[in-house]
Amino acid sequence: MSTGLTIAVPRGALLEQTLDVLDGIGVDTSEVRANDRKLLFRDVGIVTMRPSDVPTYVEAGAADIGITGKDVLMEQSEREVYELLDLGFGRCVMVLASVAGDDPMEEALRRLGVMRIATKYKKIAMRHFERTGRQAEIVEVKGSVELAPLTGLVDGIVDLTATGTTLKENGLVVREEIAVATARLIANPVAHKLKAGAIDALLERMRAA
Amino acid sequence: MTVADPTGAAPAGVPTIHPIPSGTRDVLPDEMRELRSITATALGVFDAAGYGEVQTPALEYEDTLARGDVAGAPPAYRLFDEHGRVLVLRSDMTVPIARLVATRFATAEPPLRLSYLAHAYRGVRPSRGQSREFLQAGIELVGAPAPEGTVEALTVLCDVLDAVGLTDYRIGLGDVGLYQALLDGCGVRDAARERILHELVTRDFVGLQREVGALGLGADAAELLVRVPQLRGGPEVLADLGGQAGEAAEGLRGVHALLPPRVAERLIFDLGLVRSLGYYTGAIFQVYDPALGVPIGGGGRYDDLLGRFGRPLPAVGWALTVERLHIALTGEEAGR
């Protein structure tokens, strides 16, 4: 069945459980599961994209609702979207980590007055250091953040971790937990008013599922 | 690839690009013709409804705008005049018109009906339909209390939208006092109140639930604080609101009852409606159209603002962002 809404669905780590949730409320996701190259599934009102693009589509109204991680929403906090529901799955922790042993971040802060931090989450990292009153220089990287402290590019990293395995395998330890992120249901502010019935019905079924 | 010529001259056939400030734009004749047709129609409706057009300077003294408590739309552009006084580019037209009414119509018999077509300036993140310099068409009705004044303002709003040919729009109507009254009723004050309002302003219902949960209220009160701001729809959403919130709900019902049917059928009651401007006191509203993901305009009652300029009069007004209205019209046309 169709919800009458356009739903932005994140590809990647959140995809499976997002589709499970949609199955649970009666949306047929078999075509999405069978097709990992196709992006638009008009019959069931699903568009698939990177998690970090979900707020962009929803804010502009190209999708009425969407599912993405709280980490994405925190990093894009200026987006004008409604956050409707904590879906609970996809639990990850935003952490500050550095190489095991003596903490190079402390050493850098003490001797150089500033620590260098690599991250994909520039805003979350900057807010965290502002809030805790430490001077940090943020180095934005696109690929594997774990590499940066191993090569001496930075003293530590701010990154999202689910199990901590990748950190451990690269000899990194968690120094601080910044925030817990789970999958969230978001809505476009105009769709939230004009398609209130459809959105509330979907919300109800998701809560009940 | 063209390599920049150190003399600054572009190769033949390649235009030299002279940048304009981020968030501003040029308008060329094709677009301008369409914008003009919208604004001419709007001005025609204003005129027919008895709203005289006014103009105020784009620059105001910072102290003047500060009286308006513009926390939600802080002026983004400041400069100094030759005496070192701080001037700002207006962030909306309501505060300048409040100043104008108090100064230039100090003894005029209310109600006063004024309209404008003017640019305003905000330091926003440029995105679709959101420039830092944007054109507003709007009215201010000064000296007409609720509910009759609100009814007239909403009626003129629909008249304009109908006249320009927008067909699918809806108007969300809420009351700034309603949620405040609920918080009062539950005895939520100070820092906790600020945190809850912050979640509401940032549209985070997950955060709202968390903050309300942390208050340790009874189950009924907690449920009320989380449920009510998510209500939107027909008059049925106003049911079950007691105490001071009931008064606000009664006010909204009063507006609804007096609206002509063609306006009433456009209305959605929206109890979570929060407009960021600090001067609103009662009914507030926003215009939505399915063809655009952001509101086209909005307004509300500001019964205290004129008093801050020395002429205490109840007032209501609204503004449409002309560029957004244009996008919505184009979108509706494409979807037809």
Strands A65-69 and A7-10: parallel
Number of other residues whose CB lies within 10 A of the CB of residue B180: 16
Q: Is the pLDDT of residue B1 over 60?
A: no
The pair of three-digit structure tokens given for residue B112, joined into one six-digit string: 């006063």
Q: Is the pLDDT of residue B182 over 70?
A: yes
CATH number of the domain at A29, please.
Answer: 3.40.190.10
**Residue B1 belongs to a domain:** no
Quick one: A100 and A166 in the same domain? yes
Quick one: A84 and A141 in the same domain? no
**Which residue on chain B is closest to A58 by alpha carbon?**
B293
Quick one: B164 and B310 in the same domain? yes
Provide the pLDDT for residue B66: 86
The C-alpha atoms of residue A120 and residue B182 are separated, in whole angstroms, by 41
Provide the pLDDT for residue A3: 82
| A62:B270 CB<8 A | no
**Position A173 confidence tier, pLDDT thresholds 50, 70, 90:** very high
Of A145-154, B63-72, B87-96, which range is least confident? B63-72
Work out the burial of residue B2: count CB atoms within 10 Å of its CB; fewer than 13 is exposed, 13-18 middle, 19 or more buried: exposed
Domain of A82, in residue numbers: 7-90+182-208
Provide the pLDDT for residue B9: 61
**Position B293 confidence tier, pLDDT thresholds 50, 70, 90:** very high
**Position A1 confidence tier, pLDDT thresholds 50, 70, 90:** low
By Cβ distance, the residue of B172, B203, B288 closest to A82 is B203
Quick one: A81 and A130 in the same domain? no
Work out the burial of residue A169: count CB atoms within 10 Å of its CB; fewer than 13 is exposed, 13-18 middle, 19 or more buried: exposed
Quick one: B295 and B260 in the same domain? no
Contact B44, B164 (CB under 8 A): no
**Residue A1 belongs to a domain:** no
State whether residue B172 sits within 8 Å of chain A by CB. Answer: yes
The C-alpha atoms of residue A164 and residue A184 are separated, in whole angstroms, by 22
- Bond preceding residue B111 cis, omega within 30 of 0: yes
* Domains held by chain B: number: 2
End-to-end, the C-alpha distance of chain B in Å comes to: 42
The interface residues of chain B toward chain A in range 184-243, judged by CB-CB distance below 8 A, are 202-207, 232-233
Quick one: B225 and B115 in the same domain? no
**Residue A68 belongs to a domain:** yes
Secondary structure letter of residue B228 according to DSSP:
G
Quick one: B34 and B106 in the same domain? yes
Secondary structure letter of residue A53 according to DSSP:
G
Contact B288, B174 (CB under 8 A): no
Provide the pLDDT for residue B336: 75
Q: Is the pLDDT of residue B73 over 90?
A: no
Range B233-251 average pLDDT: 85
Domain of B238, in residue numbers: 176-279
Task: Residue B293: list chain A partners with CB under 8 A.
Answer: 59-62, 188-191
Residue A170 corresponds to which amino acid?
N
pLDDT per residue as tens digits for the range A124-151: 999 999 999 999 999 999 999 999 999 9
**Which residue on chain A is closest to B168 by alpha carbon?**
A194
Provide the pLDDT for residue B68: 79
* Domains held by chain A: number: 2
Q: Is the pLDDT of residue B207 over 80?
A: yes
Task: Residue A82: list chain B partners with CB under 8 A.
Answer: 203-205
The C-alpha atoms of residue A100 and residue A168 are separated, in whole angstroms, by 9
Provide the pLDDT for residue B127: 76
The C-alpha atoms of residue A59 and residue A69 are separated, in whole angstroms, by 15
Which residue blocks in chain A are alpha helix, DSSP H?
A: 15-24, 30-34, 54-60, 70-75, 104-112, 122-131, 147-150, 165-169, 189-194, 196-208
In percent, the amount of chain B with pLDDT more than 90 equals 71
Provide the pLDDT for residue A150: 96
Provide the pLDDT for residue B83: 95
Provide the pLDDT for residue B311: 94
Q: What global pTM score does this model have?
A: 0.90
**Residue B95 belongs to a domain:** yes
pLDDT per residue as tens digits for the range B81-93: 999 999 999 999 9
Provide the pLDDT for residue B120: 95
Provide the pLDDT for residue A70: 97
The C-alpha atoms of residue B120 and residue B90 are separated, in whole angstroms, by 6
The values of phi and psi at residue B198, to 5°, are -60, -45
| A83:B295 CB<8 A | no
